[in-house]
Amino acid sequence: MKLKSISQSIAAVLLLTGASSAMANLDGYPYLLNVEASQYKLSTYQLYQNQLKFGYYEFSPNSNAVTYRYYRFLPDSNPQGWLFGNITHESPVAEHFGQSCASSARGQFKMPAYNGEVYEYGTYNVSGNTLTVTINNENRVWTKTSVNGKNRWVLSQTTQSDVTRFEGYGLASDSLNGPVSNITESQMKTEYYGTMQYLNIGATADRYKQNTWIQGSKTHSIFPATSEIGLRPDPSNPSKLISTRYTEFKDEAVNIKVTNDLVSYTSLCGDDTGKPYCHNAWGYNLSSNNSLIYYHGGHIYDTANDNGNACWDTAESVGGHSQLLWGAWEPGQSQFSGFVMVEMSYEGDGYPFWAIGVYQ
């Protein structure tokens, strides 16, 4: 196993380049993008630790060899997210209500901090709807299933001796980079529907405890693209309002394109009636791997009608929801077919909100 140091520059953090498409034996796809959560028992004091993995399998076209490259997250350490230099969020709420918002009050764009980049090597076997990946004499078994007529892979078994619980999703992909050099709204469908498994507990004392495991699952949609500028009804739920802005930020080696979505309290904001607006920013990396999507948003705005509160809530700028999504591609298609997602979001109570998901 090769584990890189986490003390990397922003440019190194963003660099996730991959090989081009090739022949393969997983239904003809060379890659399985995947995300998994697992809980394993530590060797001392009856402690348990959760870990999240976000990456891909690359299948050899000429043998049964497989390379597993992933980014490892350790939620129990509750790390702060990493900042994108001086890149700050826009303020669509303030603009909608005719207010101004100084850049110093907008908060910086963040991504979830990972513990290391890992490369592992093994073999794979496909039998019908079952994929078995063997690494270090331990098996992970993935089962292909269909949801709304679209195929995904679900982690159904693992023989890792120290793992006590696990969940995982995968999407087959023809490429890691896609057919275009720069991602724009035209590569995004208006809506992707999927499932998110999450944990949201609230105490430092819960770290390394066996009960810190997935507490819920929800099905919902993400809306990373729209052709309209300004407030509009959500196509699947008219009670929602979405405002989308596209802005390209350039900061040294970092180039990301950000979509700013404003959704009403009835959608992604949860049940906190004191914060009726959420802000969802989608970042596209223009300088390296263009299939890696960054998300940072959530409970950011207080009551929009209060003067000044339509700006980014500076107290929330240390938190919010931080996710990474890896986009899958179908052969010959110019839009993402779906995404796997990992979230690890710092919280002031001492334990993060973390989640894994899949959207198609």
Q: Are 49 and 204 in contact (CB under 8 A)?
A: no
Torsion of CA 92, 96, 101, 103, to 10 degrees: 20
Query: What's the confidence (pLDDT) of residue 302?
Result: 45
Hey, what are 62's tokens?
A: 């000429």
- Per-residue pLDDT tens over the stretch 269-328: 433 444 445 566 777 665 557 788 888 776 554 444 444 345 555 455 456 788 999 999
**Angle ∠(92,349,34) on CA atoms, nearest 5:** 70
Predicted structure pTM score: 0.81
- Distance, CA of 166 to CA of 82 (rounded, Å): 26
Q: Which residue has the higher pLDDT, 266 or 249?
A: 249
- Per-residue pLDDT tens over the stretch 122-178: 999 999 999 999 999 999 999 999 999 999 999 999 998 889 999 999 999 999 988
- Distance, CA of 116 to CA of 119 (rounded, Å): 10
Is the model's pLDDT at 42 over the cut of 50?
Answer: yes
- Distance, CA of 163 to CA of 153 (rounded, Å): 20
3-state secondary structure of 92: helix
- Distance, CA of 325 to CA of 294 (rounded, Å): 6
3-state secondary structure of 12: helix
**What is the average pLDDT across 22-47?**
85
Hey, what are 142's tokens?
A: 């993935």
Neighbouring residues of 358: CB distance < 8 A, sequence distance ≥ 6: 35, 152, 169, 170, 171, 194, 195, 338, 339, 340, 341
Is the model's pLDDT at 54 over the cut of 80?
Answer: yes
Q: Of 9-23, 260-274, 284-298, give the lowest mean pLDDT range.
A: 9-23
- Distance, CA of 308 to CA of 305 (rounded, Å): 9
Query: What's the confidence (pLDDT) of residue 90?
Result: 64
Q: Are 287 and 249 in contact (CB under 8 A)?
A: no
DSSP for 194-250 reads EEEEEE----GGGTT-TT-S--EEEEEEE----S--S-EEETTEEEEEEEEEEEEEE
- Amino acid of residue 199: L
3-state secondary structure of 104: helix
By the 10 Å C-beta count (0-12 exposed, 13-18 middle, 19+ buried), 227 is classed as exposed
Query: What's the confidence (pLDDT) of residue 348?
Result: 80
Query: What's the confidence (pLDDT) of residue 6?
Result: 27
Q: Are 302 and 274 in contact (CB under 8 A)?
A: yes
Q: Residue 223, Cα to own-chain centre: how many angstroms?
A: 14
Q: Of 65-79, 100-114, 182-196, give the lowest mean pLDDT range.
A: 100-114
Query: What's the confidence (pLDDT) of residue 237?
Result: 53
Mean pLDDT across the chain: 74
- Distance, CA of 351 to CA of 199 (rounded, Å): 10
- Per-residue pLDDT tens over the stretch 194-233: 999 999 887 888 889 998 999 989 887 776 654 333 444 4
